[in-house]
Structure 1
Amino acid sequence: MKRSLLALLALVGFNSFAAEGTQFDWGYSKETAPEQWSKIKPEYQTCEGLNQAPINIDQTVSAQLPALKLNYSSKADTIINNQRTVQINFAAGSNLELDHKVFDLKQFHLHSPSEHTIQAKSFAMEMHFVHVTEQGELAVVAVMFEEGQENKKLKQLWKELPKKSGNTVQLKHQDLATAFLPEKLDYYRFNGSLTTPPCSEGVRWIVLKEIQQASKQQIQAFSSLMEHPNNRPVQPTNARLVLE
């Protein structure tokens, strides 16, 4: 693996298990809040870029988008509470085929409330499936959760939530990533960025239209673990097109 790709994976949290007492130089409140990210250090200046994520999905352009090719066959490996989110890492073997390229699934993580909004509506929780090519190109599939019925798959996963920041747990319930996807895979697509520093742009975003449900207790279990909202506010869409 090239050094540049290793650096990129570290930046977006792939297999980066934060030790106890790890201090992040960015956060979600006060002097390290999202509006301050670009000022924290030069490497984060892209956070003021013109193609940032998340966005409010409102005005869209109709397009003949191809069906998503999600080849998810590997199992979940570990779960970590890294102080900024809960991240589930996957063993090798799953991928997304997009734009005639293969993006390997590395992990999914959670935000509450949602980062993206749809017609100005915020959701209780948002799950990001993060994929990367061998060349370091990124694609993220986002799934929204609203408060409703208990989610059976989340129920299993929540039993193994690391309560202490920095803890990593080897998962016993090694569900496939497909377990957390909706039945219908209709989606919005746009170009954006990472939603955390360094806010690197050029990320292919796929936001699924079908909304999943999770119970009030399940949503609170995650949000209370974080002790604070961990969503970046929506960013200006500017001249970008949102396809559907």
Structure 2
Amino acid sequence: MNRRHALKALAGLALCPICATPGFAAEGEHWSYEGNTGPAKWGDLDAASKVCAVGTQQSPVDIENPTKARLPNLKLSWGKTAETIVNNGHTIQLNFADGSSTLKLDDTTYKLLQVHFHRPSEHQIGGKNFPMEAHFVHRAASGGLAVVGVLMTTGRPNPAFAQIVATMPQQEGPAIKADARINPNALLPMRRSYYRYAGSLTTPPCSEVVEWLLLTDPIEVAEADVAKFAKLYPMNARPVQQLDRRFVLQMI
């Protein structure tokens, strides 16, 4: 099994914060966003997470001077509800029923698994972070991942995000039923222009199996709702990684 196929297999087994349980490197290992188990040490956690330190297609990145390109439209077909919500010790995450929501990109169909949130944004635009970022994680039958990233800025309240912070579990624990009023489609901007690049999971084991699709337009959410999330997770963002020889494409 070559390295890339091995990483795909690992990603299929361990997609934290996709999984609800904390700790997603080797069993018993712990990772965090600071100190001796923070991002600078992720590559030392275990063999599976070594790519966090030595990988050449790591995420997130700072997007500067992207290459304009004729990229395909994102064909999102999402349901209007989430199945469960969980505080997994690293973020707040909403999980979706299997096969109920899809993304079609190029000739591949990906199923929406979950959405989770980072504060501040993990991706930067021209060296600047946004207050938050949402990651909609999709998986293809092959095991490859496509993540739609949505930057979040403060402004008008967003009803879906307001309902998420109003009902999110305050303590780490098992998933519970999500409020039926949380519509994931309401967390998308009107325009679906995006940046695209080949990258990785932004948490251990940092598997380089992700097609990143970061929407260029942010959504607005209430500053008070960002503050509520920040009470639980004041900082849960990996620092930006080197772009190396990759190109970031921007839809025209």
State whether TM-score is above 0.5. yes
Alignment of 1:134 with 2:137, yes or no, is no
Q: Give the unaligned 5+ runs of structure 2.
A: 1-6
Q: Which residue of 2 aligns with 1:72?
A: 78
Instruction: Say if 2:29 and 2:45, in contact at 8 Å, map to a contact too.
Output: no
Give aligned pairs, total: 238
Q: Which residue of 2 aligns with 1:212?
A: 219
C-alpha spacing 1:85/1:185, structure 2 compared with 1 (3 Å): same
Partner Cα distance (1:17, 1:50) in 2: 28
Question: What whole-Å deviation, never above 9, does each CA across 1:16-51 have from its counterpart, x for those lacking one?
Answer: 3338xx975111010001011001111111112111
Question: What whole-Å deviation, never above 9, does each CA across 1:164-205 have from its counterpart, x for those lacking one?
Answer: 111422012243321211110000000000000000003100
Q: Which residue of 1 aligns with 2:196?
A: 189
Counterpart residue type for residue 242 of structure 2: P
Q: Which of structure 1's runs of 4+ aligned residues deviate more than 2 A?
A: 4-10, 13-19, 172-177
- Please report the TM-score for the alignment, with normalisation by the length of structure 1: 0.91
Instruction: Say if 2:158 and 2:186, in contact at 8 Å, map to a contact too.
Output: no
Give 1:40-119 correspondences, 5 Å limit: 40-48=45-53, 49-73=55-79, 75-92=81-98, 93-119=100-126
Counterpart residue type for residue 119 of structure 2: S
Q: Which residue of 1 aligns with 2:209?
A: 202
Structure 1 SS opposite 2:69: coil
- Please report the TM-score for the alignment, with normalisation by the length of structure 2: 0.89
Q: Which residue of 2 aligns with 1:240?
A: 246
Q: Which residue of 1 aligns with 2:16?
A: 13
Partner Cα distance (1:217, 1:151) in 2: 11
Q: Which residue of 2 aligns with 1:158?
A: 165
Amino-acid identity (%):
37
Q: Give the unaligned 5+ runs of structure 1.
A: none
CA RMSD of aligned residues (A): 2.0
Partner Cα distance (2:206, 2:167) in 1: 30
Shift in Å, 1:5: 7.7
Alignment of 1:28 with 2:37, yes or no, is no
